[in-house]
Amino acid sequence: MGVVVNEPLTKILETNYMPYAMSVILSRAIPEIDGFKPSHRKLLYTMYKMGLQTGHRTKSANVVGQTMRLNPHGDAAIYDTLVRLSRGNESLLNPFVDSKGNFGKVYSRDMACAAARYTEVKLSEICEYAFESIDKNTVNFMDNYDSTMKEPALLPVAFPNILANPNLGIAVGMASSICSFNLAEVCETTIALLKDPNHDLSLTLLAPDFSTGGAIIYSKAVFDNIYATGKGSFKVRSIYTYAADANRLLVTEIPPTTTVEAIIDKIIEHIKDGRLKEIADVRDETDLAGLRIAIDLKKGINPENLMSKLFKLTPLEDSFACNFNLLVGASPQTLGVREIIQAWLQFRKTCVRRELGFELDQMATKRNLLLGLQTILLDIDKAIKTIRNTKLDSRVIPNLMKEFGLNQAQAEFVAQIRLRNLNKEYILKKTEEIQRLNERIKWAKTALGSEKEIDKLITLKLREVSQKHGKPRLSKILNKDDLKEPAKEEVKDYPVQIFVTKEGYIKKVLQAWLNGEVNHKLKQNDKINQAFTASNLCDLLIFTTTAQVYKLKCSELDLVKPAALGEFLPAKLTMTNGELPIYAMATINYSGNLILAFENGKFAKVATKAYNMISRRKMSKAFNLGSPLVFIDTIAEDTNYIVSSKKKKLLVFNTALLNCKVTRDTRGMQVMKLAAGDRLAKVKKADQKQKELFQVSTIPRAGFIQNNLKQLEMGLS
């Protein structure tokens, strides 16, 4: 038998869950100051060690296989990372992988990439600035997961990649969402901050920039807040053109937060629910030339007004939520743009100092050797004679050191010179380097001790990156104050007659069309359940068999003749399978009450305002499902109802006896006491005679027995 040990939950979380949470935060989801997550860094470093910075591409499968030596994950996860870093996928403004083959598209949900065995990759040119000084002790190296290899803790990237490419990540208890900025603007801003820490960021860093383009709706207050705090959101809208000859809208750029399929799905959904009646057809025409969504318009439709409507109803305009959370010194921090650049500059300055220190050591070592070579220049013959007259090989170095006053490194260097190089020309050429080395060493020592020189080196590299890889903005900037709201289409008010059938069809018919004898077209075995007068400006609330209520603007319904079937509500309102409408009501100001009767003899009086959906189209728990619904009605004031049961009991009561509720799924109050096996059968409004015979003043009551035909006729037959 096992031993059961009682431990506090806090201890279990600390010992089991906390290490996992920290691993996700520090080693997986949150980017570091170099702009890379560990998975990105491991993959790119593997490609660098494979020699893929120059030369031909190799199969992606080779890269994936080699990366598994550093990244303890499956090949699918590694290949997904490779795809997102590639030029072909178009996820990044400045892609790090030069790709060949089908890598899918970031703006398409369904366009899958080809398998790793079919695609080819190598490092893109910009990777030169991520790896050029990695072998000069610029960053720390650490063991891989099985301690068989070394890998860099960070990459000494020579530009603020953390801002130049987008980064999204969800960790445990925190997330990161960093939008991308134009590389040239980032470099210019970084240079400006080096010169003046109080530089106004908005002068050089205009706004984010995305690989998918689009138009950023710019508000200085919004972006000042994002730049200062690292948090906030802004809107990005699609770019479109109007082809007048075809009466067609062509969308060619979309926000980075959505996909072509998501946009089309939303448009189709609103075409079905009647919100986008202006559209005749929508389709995806994306091809090798790039993204394209075609929207065919019906005749006489204003394209600008329709696009404004689409921006509101679909992801053609979407929000990008910023959360500039990154790791600085293994500590997650949410920073503003200024703080991010300053943190990157501190990191970059450390890299430059370490590189200068490394080069200084290398130059000092080389100068030491050349000084030894210069010493033997005084008497080359003596050096040859010393080596020739030394009997033991082990004594060559000590004898050279003794004869010429060399240190061991110098003596070994002299001893390794080939016989053909023992001439004055070779030795003079070599010793000429001493002067250049002295000057370079002097400069390096000065630079190491001078903040200004370090800043100059960083600035030179930033200008080089900007000049070589900077590109014009892809995302346009639209000033929020310059955007004009289109004139709202005026919806006319006129009386209409609404018909709802048992099978779920609804018709909106003009009163004038109902004069005289009317023959309604209905499906076989269908019948009209409800008919009522409404205003074209009113809201229609549709209650269904699953206790859902849907809101539908009466103006969204098409006017039809009685001879038409009408519109099918389950399809128009995207109801679930088997869900059918059971009651419809019209309201403008949501006044009055809803009366609901249940088989168990209970009645509920719910204020109509409880169903007022300001921005929603659907509301759940419209009524209680504890007992089957028998009757539903809308009243403007308290009313008398006659109620009958299956066992021929009946009574009349006034709804004033019911407490009005705002809880939609209230169980209600008991009105009729039911005997065992009995249940409520029918409810309808009572007339004066019925009121006189069967009125009750208190509830609940057992009701009166229907003991004669006259009473039965007065009740519910």
CA dist., res. 540 & res. 549, Å (int): 10
Q: By the 8 A CB rule, do 270 and 572 touch?
A: no
Q: Which two tokens stand for residue 647?
A: 């066992």
Run of H or E including 344:
helix 337-376
What is the SS3 assignment for 243-307?
ECCCCEEEEEECCCCCCHHHHHHHHHHHHHCCCCCCEEEEEECCECCECCEEEEECCCCCHHHHH
- Bridge partners (DSSP) of residue 290 are 287
CA dist., res. 617 & res. 545, Å (int): 17
Q: By the 8 A CB rule, do 151 and 144 touch?
A: yes
Token look-up 């134009």 returns 182
CA dist., res. 230 & res. 328, Å (int): 14
State phi, psi for 51 to the nearest 5 degrees.
75, 25
DSSP, collapsed to helix, strand or coil, labels residue 688 as helix
DSSP, collapsed to helix, strand or coil, labels residue 325 as strand
Run of H or E including 367:
helix 337-376
CA 377: distance to chain centroid? 70
Question: Cα(first)–Cα(last) distance of the chain, in Å?
Answer: 71
Run of H or E including 442:
helix 433-448
| Catalytic residue (choose from 17, 20, 118, 145) | 118
Active site residue 118: yes
Contacts 24+ apart (CB under 8 A), 414-423: 414/372, 414/373, 414/376, 414/383, 415/387, 417/373, 422/380, 422/383, 422/384
Q: By the 8 A CB rule, do 566 and 557 touch?
A: no
Alpha-carbon dihedral of residues 655, 657, 659, 665, nearest 10 degrees? Answer: -50
Q: Which two tokens stand for residue 484?
A: 């004009």
Q: How far is CA 658 from CA 263, 425, 557, 675, in A?
A: 48, 115, 35, 22
CA dist., res. 231 & res. 327, Å (int): 16
State phi, psi for 502 to the nearest 5 degrees.
-60, -35
CA dist., res. 140 & res. 151, Å (int): 9
**611: alpha, beta or left, given left = phi > 0 and alpha = psi -120 to 50?**
alpha
The DSSP result for 161-196, as a single string, is: HHHHS-EEEE-SS-EEEE--B-HHHHHHHHHHHHH-
Helix, strand, coil fractions of the chain, as percent rounded to 5: 35, 25, 40
Catalytic residues: 118
